[in-house]
Structure 1
Amino acid sequence: MKMQFNNVLFLIKFMTMHSLLVLSASQDFDFFYFVQQWPGSYCDTKQGCCYPSTGKPPSDFGIHGLWPNRNDGSYPSNCDSTNPFDVSKISDLTSQMQSEWPTLSCPTNNGLTFWGHEWDKHGTCSESVLNQHDYFATTLSLKNELNLLQALQSAGIQPNGQKYSLSSIKSAITQASGYTPWIECNNDSSGNSQLYQIYLCVNSSASRFIQCPIFPKGTCGSSVEFPKF
């Protein structure tokens, strides 16, 4: 009887350890970067942009992506070629994505290539917590939790082509969200630094914002332009 109990105990321990190993192997990341971009800065470059076939997007920050990342700064990518992007799985989200996750790449297109790239490169690496539909639905939900443009405008930072201090931009977003953002800049056609993308971090289950364990490399100038769109 004692031997049977020991065998059962061993089996429970083995199954628990096996489950933990499977979980750690399948979730090869520690948090997500949630990245939004300002369309005016995407377009105001030497390369320029093309409005999507559905028309000019709203004058608002648009989603770039939800990217699994590791605490050491590395990240997984293109994790599952057997589960490619399938637009039929997000048919109920397409209208919202055209507005909040628009493409600005050329030539003019409907966004499917952009969304497919985000799923294939980043989304497939989050399958342990998010299936294809949930990946896009969760990302849209995160955008609705925090209105970046409103946060900046409330602090007197307007997309009017003027320059603002990088510290004031960070402060406005921190005050609105409770978390420190990372700001990415690009250069306009004249070489001026401009507000391009804003990074916030999300926990590994994609359920809430967190303080970023690590920021990407690169810096903006102390003063950056916020172009019109």
Structure 2
Amino acid sequence: MASLPAKAKLILPLLLLLGVATAAPLNKAKKEFDYFTLALTWSGTKCLNARECCSSNGCCNPDVGSKFTIRGLWPEYNDGTWPTCCNGTAFDQDGVDIQLLMPDLARDWPSYYCTLSSACGSPKGSNWAYEWVKRGTCASPVLTTIYGYFSKALELSSSFDVTGILSESGYVASDSAKYLVGGIIQAIEKELGVTPILSCYGDAVKEVQLCFDKNLQIQECPTIESGMLSKSDECPGFVRLPIKTAPEKMNYLSLRGVQNW
């Protein structure tokens, strides 16, 4: 076999090195997630800073009451990190399958903004498009379709009805009543058998998080099991569940929306 010229012997290692460097990011697969977090937002708190209305703002939708609505169903890792921007089907809001869910999504998974958002280099779109591209695409191999992802989130929110659980224990929407934060946690814990994670916006309950394994069975959140500082520890001792109110100014062409925490 003829030997390579001296110049080729110098160039070949460089080409191989460049080839490896180029291929490495393409071959790097995201690690499969460990569990799901179902994040539920209290609508009354979300609407505290609403200034104007638009057709996509849940604060202005009469079908969205003072209750917990879905913020997201998020694949997560046990170490506190999470995957984002995975491979998946492009979100098609006009698709027949997602259109079947639209009435439920508008009521139970509303957007609270008047602006469009984008994630992972995708075009700007609805809040649902944003959630699918950023987090829903990473729910595979458990939830592999757009319909499956959103319908399962709606099902979990309905089956684990945190608003109803709290109401039955006397924790109802009110602009004046203040409730012991530990009482809210205990009411959910007593009914569901797991400890929820709460987060607050000042003295108002902002969000409740529940965790599910990859069989979509409820479980303790790794944060609770590991003893790490929980968001619940950042809430004051007494909290409110504000009544959801729509802004007085109804400008459906507004693009300003509401505060994004």
Q: Fold conserved (TM > 0.5)?
A: yes
Amino acid corresponding to residue 85 of structure 2 in structure 1? N
Q: What is aligned with 2:254? A: none
Correspondence 1:155 to 2:163: no
Q: 1:50/1:174 Cα in 2 relative to 1: closer, same or farther (>3 Å)?
A: farther
2:214 to 204, 209, 219: 204
Query: Separation in 2 of the partners of 1:126 and 1:49?
Result: 34
Q: Give the 3-state SS of the residue equivalent to 1:175 in structure 2.
A: helix
Query: Separation in 1 of the partners of 2:112 and 2:84?
Result: 23
Higher RCO, Cα 8 Å, sep 6+: 2
Q: What is aligned with 1:22? A: none
Q: What is aligned with 1:178? A: 193
- Report how far residue 39 of structure 1 moved: 0.7
- Report how far residue 99 of structure 1 moved: 1.1
Correspondence 1:221 to 2:236: yes
Correspondence 1:132 to 2:146: yes
Query: Separation in 2 of the partners of 1:143 and 1:52?
Result: 23
Query: Separation in 1 of the partners of 2:188 and 2:47?
Result: 23
Query: Separation in 2 of the partners of 1:141 and 1:212?
Result: 19
Q: 1:50/1:61 Cα in 2 relative to 1: closer, same or farther (>3 Å)?
A: farther
Q: Give the 3-state SS of the residue equivalent to 1:93 in structure 2.
A: helix
Identity %: 30
- Report how far residue 117 of structure 1 moved: 0.8
Q: 1:40/1:95 Cα in 2 relative to 1: closer, same or farther (>3 Å)?
A: same
Q: What is aligned with 2:13? A: none
Q: Give the 3-state SS of the residue equivalent to 1:83 in structure 2.
A: coil
**1:68-117: CA deviations, max 9, x gaps?**
1111001011112x532122141211111111111111359xxx611011
Q: Is the 8 A contact 2:34 2:77 kept in 1?
A: yes
Query: Separation in 2 of the partners of 1:50 and 1:176?
Result: 36
Correspondence 1:144 to 2:158: yes
Q: Give the 3-state SS of the residue equivalent to 1:214 in structure 2.
A: helix
Amino acid corresponding to residue 101 of structure 2 in structure 1? L
Runs of 4 or more, structure 1, over 6 Å off, are none
Correspondence 1:64 to 2:71: yes
**Superposition RMSD in Å:** 2.3
2:135 to 122, 125, 132: 122
Amino acid corresponding to residue 36 of structure 1 in structure 2? L
Q: Which sections of structure 1, spanning at least 5 residues, go unmatched?
A: 1-24, 188-192
- Report how far residue 211 of structure 1 moved: 1.1
Q: What is aligned with 2:89? A: 83
Query: Separation in 1 of the partners of 2:196 and 2:148?
Result: 24
Count of matched residue positions in the alignment of Structure 1 and Structure 2: 195
Q: Is the 8 A contact 1:52 1:104 kept in 2?
A: no
Q: Give the 3-state SS of the residue equivalent to 2:174 in structure 1.
A: coil
- Report how far residue 180 of structure 1 moved: 0.6
1:93 to 69, 92, 101: 101
Q: Which sections of structure 2, spanning at least 5 residues, go unmatched?
A: 1-28, 117-124, 245-261
Amino acid corresponding to residue 35 of structure 2 in structure 1? F
Query: Separation in 1 of the partners of 2:240 and 2:52?
Result: 18
Amino acid corresponding to residue 72 of structure 1 in structure 2? D
Q: TM-score under structure 2 normalisation? A: 0.68
Q: What is aligned with 2:39? A: 35
Q: Is the 8 A contact 1:30 1:71 kept in 2?
A: yes
Query: Separation in 2 of the partners of 1:120 and 1:114?
Result: 10
Report the structure number with the largest CA radius of gyration: 2
Query: Separation in 2 of the partners of 1:51 and 1:208?
Result: 37
Amino acid corresponding to residue 130 of structure 2 in structure 1? H
Q: TM-score under structure 1 normalisation? A: 0.77
